[in-house]
Amino acid sequence: MASGTQTRGDSDAGEKPGVRTSPSAGETVQKIERRRFAEFVDLFLGPVAALSSEQTLLVKRELLGSLSRRAVYWIALLLVGSLLWFVCGLWDRNLRYLSLFRAAWIFGLWGMVAPMAAYLLKKTMALPKHAGANAIEQMHWAWAALVMLTSFWWAAGSFGLSPPKFTLLHGYYFRFIRYNFLELTMISYAFNLLLIAPSLRATLGSLVFGAIPFGFSMAPALFINRPGMFDWNTAQLIGYCFMAWFICNDQKRACVKEVILEEARSQAEAATAEKNQFIAAISHDLRQPLTTLGLKLNYIERNIESTKLTEDISIAQRQVDAMEGMINGALDICRLESGTWNVEIQEVVLASLLHGIVVDMQPLARAKGLKLRLHSRPYLTHTDRHALDRIVRNMVTNAIRYTPSKKGGRKGHILLSCQRRGNLVKISVWDNGIGIPEGRQADIFKSYVQVDNPERDREKGFGLGLSIVQGLANLLGHKLDMDSTPGLGSRFSVTVPFVGRIPPELLEVQTVENGAPDLTNMVVALIEDNSDLRIEISMRLIERGCYVVAGESSYDVIEQLRIEALTSGPHFILSDYRLEHEDGIAAIAAVRAATDTSIPAILWSGDTSSAVLKKVAVSGMKLLSKPVSEQTLLTLLARHKPKTPIEGA
């Protein structure tokens, strides 16, 4: 695509387009005036972009197609109007051969102009894609000639209408006579300017040739009897010509801009496709030798006896693994960007999919000293199994990578869980890792973006995992969510459609530890303004099968219960006593008032003053002193678990 701009009008061969130059010695006075006038016009219209020959051809073809369609609309309007004048017009009875004139006029429009328009439209549509500039120019002139002929023939009807009686023009009524025909035609030229705008020659030709019959039939009477109206109609016609010039050039500029943008878009898409094809080819060609090298190193490592060589081979093996991970990630990004990742939507059993991911990731978590746990339920979903597996697997891998083995005396842990939200299931990966600063959260799904890895340590990955997660989620139409607090941890979630439940006799609910209380389908409302403790308790309860609705205040919990529209619950309320904007007693009372006043509840607090104890005693609630052991809390909840499973949870 050629770049730059050029001014309207003529320019010398040595003049750069779009650059104002001083008059040269060889430049004629006429050229100087034309150039200056073009520069003046460009102040209003803007310069026309310089086009290549291919782009010029595209512009000509686009303008021709637009002209053909709009000319047909314009001719159709005239055909309908001709019937009105033919039937309702006051024709001049003194005109010789009036009947023949009327027949010739209406036949010329319907029997000659209409078939010619249909023929030219068919021929324009059949124009080959490889048609050259000459063929397109010929068709353009054919349409312009038809428009001029139509305009001339339409105006010729004024000869057969009754001549104006100027003494009657002051009345408040309308007559279909020659003068009114002229006035309505002049008004309708506004439609002409808009419809025939793709062609300046057709528009100006229509105005000029259409004025010739009126000039012969109306000019003498107007010039003699109403010279003011003659001047007005003449000025109106000249004004239409100037308007046509501006409108048509503006239409051309819009077409030029569209062609340039389309070509730029095509070039960008071609460049992207070429890049993706190159990356895919490189990735594919490197995977086989890397796989072979990895297998060979693994075999040597198992059979070598030298300790020193074993260490060297282990280092080489890690490098091969890192290269393979980068190539696989680049290949996946390439497939997503090029749209070649094919998905197969089917019913997927979440329990087996999530269990398989945890089994595969467990050795990696143990090697880092992390506790990886799973809580899944017998849910069915509609998705692509391979793509969803990749999404969740990448989220778990990311959690393992950025969760330290110990932090503040606590062991690093990761929880993979799923919870139903109406007709959706939310799959979440919780961790108590380093968290993500708020200013970086918007960038983590971009390629090659990593938090806490400025040194680009390859053991921390390459920043492609979450980018692939985002791309696959967009491809499947699944919603991604992320909550994170620096220093406390993160939760990454993907929401998938809920199809149904698998009968318990076919697939049991995956629990974390045998012998622990089973709280499956129990809905618990948790009110705690400490986000760290709130996340920790939520994770523990979700592991046991609870559906947790957590918030930092009663308002947050009530709002979440309203949004999630659970069919039952909550079955139990847990609340800290000392909250930021209310105490636990008031918070529990608010949740009960919004749901069910008989819901059991419990408070915990580190404040054991007599005033607090008396207030809690008056409320009739039980108070647990911090710290509350996990077993105590679970045992208490197990006593209040509903006997009938709640399907809405």
**If we measure between CA atoms, which residue out of 209, 205, 78, 195 comes closest to residue 142?**
205
Domains 346-510 and 518-649 are alike in CATH topology? no
The residue with greater pLDDT, 69 or 317, is 69
What is the reported pLDDT for 228?
Answer: 78
What is the reported pLDDT for 147?
Answer: 93
Give the neighbor-by-neighbor strand order of the sheet with 413-421: 371-375, 413-421, 424-431, 489-497, 479-485
Is a pLDDT exceeding 90 seen at residue 516? no
Using the CB atoms, write b or e for 59-70: b if 16+ within 10 Å.
Answer: bbbbbbbbbbeb
Domain boundaries, the chain: 53-269, 286-338, 346-510, 518-649
- The β-bridge relationship of strands 424-431 and 413-421 is antiparallel
What is the reported pLDDT for 221?
Answer: 77
Q: Cα–Cα distance between 298 and 107 in angstroms, integer?
A: 92
**Class for domain 346-510, per CATH?**
alpha beta
Is a pLDDT exceeding 70 seen at residue 648? no
Residue in the structure block whose two tokens are 């062991």? 411
Q: How confident is the model at residue 263 (pLDDT cuts 50, 70, 90)?
A: confident
The residue with greater pLDDT, 514 or 609, is 609
Specify which of 90-94, 150-154, 438-442, 545-549 reaches the highest per-range mean pLDDT: 150-154
pLDDT in tens, 55-90: 788 888 888 888 999 999 999 999 999 999 898 888
Among 176-185, 405-414, 484-493, name the one with the lowest average pLDDT: 405-414
- The β-bridge relationship of strands 547-551 and 523-527 is parallel
What is the reported pLDDT for 146?
Answer: 94
What is the reported pLDDT for 320?
Answer: 65
The residue with greater pLDDT, 414 or 274, is 414
Is residue 15 within 8 A of residue 49, CB to CB? The reply is: no
Q: Cα–Cα distance between 14 and 8 in angstroms, integer?
A: 16
What is the reported pLDDT for 285?
Answer: 57
Q: In Å, what is the CA distance from 35 to each residue of 29, 42, 251?
A: 10, 10, 22
Is a pLDDT exceeding 70 seen at residue 452? no
For the segment 30-47, the average pLDDT, to the nearest whole number, is: 62
Is residue 645 within 8 A of residue 520, CB to CB? The reply is: yes
Residues 6+ apart with CB under 8 A from 258: 62
What is the reported pLDDT for 629?
Answer: 64
What is the reported pLDDT for 626?
Answer: 63
Q: How confident is the model at residue 293 (pLDDT cuts 50, 70, 90)?
A: low
**If we measure between CA atoms, which residue out of 351, 321, 257 comes closest to residue 63?**
257
State the SS3 of 230-279: HHHHHHHHHHHHHHHHHHHHHHHHHHHHHHHHHHHHHHHHHHHHHHHHHH
Tokens at 29, concatenated = 């006075």
Q: What are phi and psi of 8, to 5 degrees?
A: -70, 150
For the segment 455-467, the average pLDDT, to the nearest whole number, is: 49
53: burial class by Cβ within 10 Å (0-12, 13-18, 19+)? Answer: exposed
235: burial class by Cβ within 10 Å (0-12, 13-18, 19+)? Answer: exposed
DSSP string, 164-211: P-GGGTTSS----SHHHHHHHHHHHHHHHHHHTTT-HHHHHHHHHHHH
**How is residue 583 annotated by DSSP?**
B
The residue with greater pLDDT, 324 or 517, is 517
Tokens at 516, concatenated = 């622990």
pLDDT in tens, 462-474: 445 577 788 888 8
**If we measure between CA atoms, which residue out of 515, 533, 531 comes closest to residue 634?**
515
For the segment 323-342, the average pLDDT, to the nearest whole number, is: 62
Q: Name the CATH code of domain 518-649 (choices 3.30.1020.10, 3.40.50.620, 3.40.50.2300, 3.40.50.300).
A: 3.40.50.2300
Residue in the structure block whose two tokens are 């200056």? 36
Residue in the structure block whose two tokens are 């059949």? 126
The residue with greater pLDDT, 13 or 92, is 92
Q: In Å, what is the CA distance from 228 to each residue of 41, 233, 396?
A: 31, 9, 86
What is the reported pLDDT for 156?
Answer: 92
Q: How confident is the model at residue 324 (pLDDT cuts 50, 70, 90)?
A: low
Q: Cα–Cα distance between 340 and 332 in angstroms, integer?
A: 10
Average pLDDT, the chain: 76
Q: Cα–Cα distance between 548 and 545 in angstroms, integer?
A: 9
DSSP string, 624-646: EESSPPHHHHHHHHHHT--SS--
Helix (DSSP H) and strand (DSSP E) numbers for the chain: 17, 17
379: burial class by Cβ within 10 Å (0-12, 13-18, 19+)? Answer: buried
The residue with greater pLDDT, 336 or 593, is 593
Q: Cα–Cα distance between 337 and 335 in angstroms, integer?
A: 6
Is residue 321 within 8 A of residue 298, CB to CB? The reply is: no
Is a pLDDT exceeding 50 seen at residue 302? yes
For the segment 532-549, the average pLDDT, to the nearest whole number, is: 80
**How is residue 111 annotated by DSSP?**
I
What's the one-letter identity of residue 423? N
pLDDT in tens, 584-623: 899 999 988 888 888 899 888 766 566 777 787 788 888 7
Q: Cα–Cα distance between 564 and 422 in angstroms, integer?
A: 7
Q: How confident is the model at residue 436 (pLDDT cuts 50, 70, 90)?
A: confident
The residue with greater pLDDT, 116 or 405, is 116
Is residue 210 within 8 A of residue 154, CB to CB? The reply is: yes
Residues 6+ apart with CB under 8 A from 336: 468, 471, 472, 475
Residue 392 CB neighbour total at 10 angstroms? 25
**If we measure between CA atoms, which residue out of 596, 552, 542, 593 comes closest to residue 570?**
596
Q: How confident is the model at residue 338 (pLDDT cuts 50, 70, 90)?
A: low
For helices 178-195 and 200-225, what crossing angle results, to 10°? 160
CA 534 to centroid of chain Cα atoms = 36
> What's the helix, strand, coil split of the chain in %, to 5?
55, 15, 30
What is the reported pLDDT for 286?
Answer: 58
What is the reported pLDDT for 232?
Answer: 85
Q: What are phi and psi of 497, to 5 degrees?
A: -70, 145
Q: Cα–Cα distance between 379 and 391 in angstroms, integer?
A: 18
Q: What percent of the chain has pLDDT over 90?
A: 12
Among 164-178, 189-203, 229-243, 278-292, name the one with the lowest average pLDDT: 278-292
The residue with greater pLDDT, 461 or 400, is 400
What is the reported pLDDT for 507?
Answer: 47
Among 288-297, 354-363, 513-522, 627-636, name the one with the lowest average pLDDT: 288-297
pLDDT in tens, 204-256: 999 999 889 988 888 887 777 777 788 888 888 898 888 888 888 888 888 88
